[in-house]
Amino acid sequence: MPHGHCYLWMPKILWLHVISDALITIAYFSIPITLLYILKKRRDIPFGWMVVAFGIFIFACGTTHVMEIWTIWIPNYWLSGFIKLLTAVASIVTATLLVYLIPKILSWPSPEQLQYLNNELQAQNNELNKINKKLADTQQQLLQSEKMASLGQLAAGVAHEINNPIGYVWSNFKSLEDYQKKYTLLLNAYAAYDQTFSKDNEHHKKIIQLKHDIEFEFIQDDIPALLKECTDGLTRVQKIVKDLKDFSHPDSDEEWVYSDIHEGLESTLSIAWSEIKYKAHVIKEYGTLPSIECLPAQLNQVFLNILINAVQAIETQGTITLQTHHDQTHVYIRITDTGSGIPKDILGRIFDPFFTTKEIGKGTGLGLSLSYGIIQKHHGTITAESIVGKGTTFIIRLPIKQP
Ligand SMILES: Nc1ncnc2c1ncn2[C@@H]1O[C@H](COP(=O)(O)OP(=O)(O)OP(=O)(O)O)[C@@H](O)[C@H]1O
Ligand SMILES: [Mg+2]
């Protein structure tokens, strides 16, 4: 007998049931589809199989409601009974699985716990970033030191090779200058003797002609100028060789002593004063500094290199500011100029030996590499900050006591 008899085929009751069951069915059938869609999009959702079990269970429930409608007219109670049985199995399985999952679900962190963990992670991440940056800086310094060491060996080799020939060229040259003076004396004596010859003497005429042909007067004037230029050139080569040697072995016989950095700065300023005074106004912002263990003459060389660079970077008029301060373990010296500044792409190369942007004859590119070696020897650091068009600051950090 169709199920509709239970409703006495009263249309109102019948349709109330049919419509309600239909709506429940639509809802039940749509839920597994939504669940499948979510699972497809979020493959990381844990216990996906549980979601699948829920989907089957809800689908089965929907089917029982279809059968509710079906049996109103067609009394297929065996089929509807089996579908109910399947639904029961699916519900029992899902319910059991849910119980099994309870401890796992309860162990999931709450949103507050997640937020806390997230904050912790963020803090650790920041810390890691800081360490990473420190490592990168250290690596940069190590690379620079390594580069310096290998360039130092190269420089030492070159300096040694050039030093020998320069030595004998220099000493021969000094003899040559001396001989030239003696030749001049002799020639002058001959010239005085010349006057005694008669104008018609053939030999005399030939000598006069030769003097004219070889531009004797000009040669006489030019030789001392040429010799002076050569002496200047040789002096420059000697200075370059000395710089190269200092760069490769910045250790001289100088003793490590406790010395006052301000004294060093002052004496360097007075040495460079003739260069500085026309171009820069010097501002001193000295703090109180303890004496530090150092090689004072070498540090003065560093200050001198930086000051000369500063003056050379100022085109017409500018300012050089010297600042000093210290903490428990180190002293800091900042030398700032209002010069041309250093473009970013070359800032990383200024400490390289032979790196120069100056015209030939004005810079050899050894000043800063030499300074770098000296500061490293003092277990300190030297860095530069610069803004093109505004100026440059060199920051030297030196330990008060050598390790
Ligand atoms: N204060 C500064 N302002 C602008 N540029 C600078 C400054 N100091 C250094 N530089 C740049 O760094 C380069 C290298 O300097 P470094 O002192 O080593 O060599 P140099 O001055 O060119 O030659 P040297 O010092 O051997 O005579 C310079 O050529 C210049 O381009
Ligand atoms: Mg220089």
Strand partners, 283: 321
Read off the pLDDT of residues 216-241 as tens digits, 9 standing for 90 and up: 989 989 998 999 999 988 888 887 78
- The pLDDT value recorded for residue 21 is 93
Q: How far is the CA of 260 from the centre of ligand 1 (A)?
A: 26
Ligand nearest to the CA of 239: 1
Q: Does ligand 1 lie within 6 Å of residue 318's CB atom? A: no
Answer whether residue 251 shows pLDDT above 60: no
User: Between β-strands 280-285 and 257-259, what pairing exists: parallel, antiparallel or unpaired?
Assistant: unpaired
Answer whether residue 377 shows pLDDT above 80: yes
User: Between β-strands 318-326 and 391-399, what pairing exists: parallel, antiparallel or unpaired?
Assistant: unpaired
DSSP 204: H
Q: Return d(Cα 248, Cα 241) in angstroms, integer.
A: 11
Query: Is residue 387 within a helix (H) or strand (E), and if so which, with residue range?
Result: strand 381-387
Residue nearest to atom 28 of ligand 1 (CA): 356
Average pLDDT in the chain: 88
Q: How far is the CA of 310 from the centre of ligand 2 (A)?
A: 9
Q: Does ligand 1 lie within 6 Å of residue 159's CB atom? A: no
Contacts of 136-145 spanning 24+ positions with Cβ under 8 A: 141/381, 144/351, 144/372, 145/376
Residue nearest to atom 25 of ligand 1 (CA): 367
User: Stretch 20-44: mean pLDDT, rounded?
Assistant: 91
- The pLDDT value recorded for residue 22 is 94
Q: Does ligand 1 lie within 6 Å of residue 371's CB atom? A: no
Q: What's the pLDDT band for 248 if we cut at 50, 70, 90? A: low
- The top-scoring range by mean pLDDT among 2-16, 66-80, 387-401 is 387-401
Which of these, 269, 280, 279, 394, lies nearest to 341 by C-alpha position? 394
Using alpha carbons, list the distances in angstroms from residue 126 to 121, 131, 321, 336.
Answer: 9, 9, 36, 32
Which of these, 380, 246, 260, 364, lies nearest to 308 by C-alpha position? 364
Q: Does ligand 1 lie within 6 Å of residue 342's CB atom? A: yes
Q: Does ligand 1 lie within 6 Å of residue 280's CB atom? A: no
**Residues near ion ligand 2 (Cβ under 5 Å):** 309, 367
Answer whether residue 384 shows pLDDT above 70: yes
- The pLDDT value recorded for residue 272 is 83
